Structure 1
């Protein structure tokens, strides 16, 4: 399963009747960055930028991640259940504790790792 933050960000932005320009202004990011993030699956975004977008959308970074990356758990004696894993919030919280440069490096490394794992499936 792949992570597509752009789809989730676009959905939330549209739900709030914001343009990409509005979101860019509210998050102190460029319109080009917001546009590229929403239209491409190959995303490379730091936690700081994702936090800025989350704040502009009146939500949290873990909430965006959880909705963009849902994990399906299969129970042996029952149907598939979709869940929002709490461990994602724990990862985000730990990354937030890091200095800005380190947080960005860790974020980029996690994205590369996730993409590699998804491509190997």
Structure 2
């Protein structure tokens, strides 16, 4: 069974003993959005929203993406959190785009990661 962003966010939230309401408040997102993200496979999420969730969970967006799609870890000395460089680069570049463009590209990027993950299984 493959993991997805919602599964990874839910796992991290529960590990920190947070409710969906707690995460929603900490991230500035709605409880409905957090609930839908955790329970569905349709993961349309912008980089800004994922950044908000990552910050609320005391982690990074690339780390959530990496763990959700189980990309091979790189050597610890190559980057700080062992996330593949391409994920870090793409997430950093997405933050530099205008909001509407970043949201569109973020959703496409997540879709691409899901395709890569499913073709590797």
TM-score class normalised by the smaller sequence: 0.7 to 0.9
> What is the DSSP-based 3-state SS (H/G/I as helix, E as strand, rest coil) of the residue aligned with 2:21?
helix
Q: In 2, Cα distance between the equivalents of 1:70 and 1:116?
A: 13
Change (3 A) 1:117 1:88: closer
Provide TM-score, normalisation by structure 2.
0.80
**Which position in structure 1 is the counterpart of 2:53?**
53
**Which position in structure 2 is the counterpart of 1:9?**
9
**Which position in structure 2 is the counterpart of 1:32?**
32
Aligned ranges for residues 25-104 of structure 1 at < 5 Å? 25-71=25-71, 84-104=83-103
Change (3 A) 1:58 1:120: closer
| Structure 2: gaps spanning 5 or more residues | 74-81
Change (3 A) 1:101 1:14: same
Structure showing greater radius of gyration is 1
Report the Cα offset of residue 112 of structure 1: 3.6
Report the Cα offset of residue 34 of structure 1: 0.4
- CA RMSD between the two structures: 2.3
| Structure 1: gaps spanning 5 or more residues | 74-82
Report the Cα offset of residue 106 of structure 1: 0.7
Provide TM-score, normalisation by structure 1.
0.80
How many residue pairs were aligned?
A: 112
Higher strand share: 1
